[in-house]
């Protein structure tokens, strides 16, 4: 099987190119990345058991028809994913993310290549205690420009699938945690682990401490994608992928197992989502896949141990 991963050097992609070959025999991966974030290290020390090709390209500016024609499936990860930053750069979020997705969708249609579109559980905005993929349109209320763009991408994929032009499925991933070669530290679990190890007070939005949110471990993310590829579940449907629903307080408690003396700094911030709810993996469960093996405790443990070099200290200039 030949697959393409756009944005393949990032937090999720750098994990996929190492672990997907362990779950899918005879896999050949082509990574497309513009290297804007300069994650060269994501290509270091790749397993020798798999074949990985790398193409440096901006998918919004390059025609990739010839590359897509050689693949069975495309996993589209390329995006600006910092939801908080999207408030101050909504036009950039829309122009870059949507333009990239439209280019990938159009090329998949042209080459008859199956598509996995990565979306986010941040598209939900519900007053219900639990929610799944079968929710009403009224419960899809984007709380950030990032999430609003994701809904537009989802709608385009759904339209093309309904027209019979595209074979695709949509994954709504929970907030990612876990270690990878290209990992970032702007989302809750990773950010808090970084701050705790560096002796920085954990910056927590006052409104978010007791709110329940969906999280997805990287191992579960790989497992879910491998499941779709094995089953060829390109049915035009949306699938949630969540390892655990947890509050910020739950995350803090896990970190305190390792670093009991951490300090919390409750701050006011632009509300990204003021609701509390649990996201269910209804469609994945019905298809025969159960997630949750990559626990929050494991993710926190792995991240802290990776960072916890006691010879490294955080020294700021005044």
**Domains detected in the chain:** 2-177+216-241 (3.40.50.720), 188-212+244-279+294-307 (3.90.25.10)
For residue 272, the model assigns a pLDDT of 52
Q: What Cα–Cα distance (Å) separates residue 178 from each residue in 115, 149, 185, 217? A: 25, 25, 11, 6
Q: For residues 187 and 202, give the distance between their C-alpha atoms in angstroms, rounded to a whole number.
A: 12
Task: Please state the rounded mean pLDDT for residues 230-251.
Answer: 97
Which two three-digit tokens encode residue 71? 């693949």
User: Worst-scoring range by mean pLDDT, 7-11, 296-300, 310-314?
Assistant: 310-314
Task: Please state the rounded mean pLDDT for residues 110-126.
Answer: 94
Handedness of CA 50, 169, 291, 180 (dihedral sign): positive
Q: Is the pLDDT higher at 122 or at 242?
A: 242
Token pair 């393409």 in the structure block, residue: 4
- Say how many residues make up the chain: 318
Residue 240 has a CB neighbour count (10 Å cut-off) of 26
The bridge status of strand 175-177 relative to strand 168-173 is: unpaired
User: Worst-scoring range by mean pLDDT, 54-63, 70-79, 102-111, 154-163?
Assistant: 54-63
* Average pLDDT of the residues of the chain: 89
Query: Can you give the pTM of this predicted structure?
Result: 0.92
Helix, coil or strand: residue 257: helix
List of residues 6+ apart from 12 with CB closer than 8 A: 77, 118, 173, 176, 180, 218, 221
In the predicted structure, residue 80 carries a pLDDT above the cut 90? no
Which two three-digit tokens encode residue 106? 């159009």
User: Worst-scoring range by mean pLDDT, 83-92, 103-112, 288-297?
Assistant: 83-92
For residue 318, the model assigns a pLDDT of 44
Q: For residues 163 and 146, give the distance between their C-alpha atoms in angstroms, rounded to a whole number.
A: 26
Q: What Cα–Cα distance (Å) separates residue 135 from each residue in 32, 140, 150, 243, 289? A: 34, 8, 16, 20, 20
């Amino acid at each position: 099987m030949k697959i393409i991963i756009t944005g393949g050097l990032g937090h999720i992609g750098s994990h996929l190119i190492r672990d997907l070959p362990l779950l899918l025999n005879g896999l050949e991966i082509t990574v497309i990345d513009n290297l804007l974030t300069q994650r060269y290290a994501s290509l270091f020390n790749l397993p020798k058991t798999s074949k990985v090709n790398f193409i440096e390209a901006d998918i919004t500016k390059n025609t990739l028809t010839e590359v897509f024609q050689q693949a069975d499936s495309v996993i589209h990860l390329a995006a600006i994913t910092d939801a908080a930053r999207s408030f101050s750069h909504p036009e950039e979020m829309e122009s870059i993310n949507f333009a990239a997705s439209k280019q990938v969708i159009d090329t998949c249609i042209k080459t008859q290549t199956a598509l996995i579109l990565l979306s986010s559980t941040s598209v939900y905005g519900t007053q219900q205690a639990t929610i799944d993929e079968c929710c009403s349109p009224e419960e899809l209320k984007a709380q950030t420009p990032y999430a609003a763009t994701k809904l537009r991408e989802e709608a385009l994929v759904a339209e093309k699938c309904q027209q019979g032009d595209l074979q695709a499925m949509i994954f709504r991933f929970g907030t990612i945690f876990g270690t990878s070669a290209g990992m970032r530290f702007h989302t809750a679990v990773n950010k808090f682990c970084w701050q705790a190890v560096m002796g920085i007070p954990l910056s927590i939005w006052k409104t978010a401490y007791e709110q329940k949110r969906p999280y997805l471990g990287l191992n579960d993310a790989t497992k879910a994608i491998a499941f779709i590829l094995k089953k060829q579940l390109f049915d035009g449907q949306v699938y949630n992928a969540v390892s655990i629903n947890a509050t910020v307080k739950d995350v803090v408690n896990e970190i305190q197992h390792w670093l009991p003396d951490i300090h919390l700094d409750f701050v006011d911030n632009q509300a990204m989502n003021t609701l509390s709810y649990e996201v269910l993996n209804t469609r994945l469960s019905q298809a025969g896949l159960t997630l949750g093996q990559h626990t929050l405790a494991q993710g926190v443990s792995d991240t802290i141990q990776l960072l916890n070099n006691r010879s490294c200290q955080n020294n700021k200039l005044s």
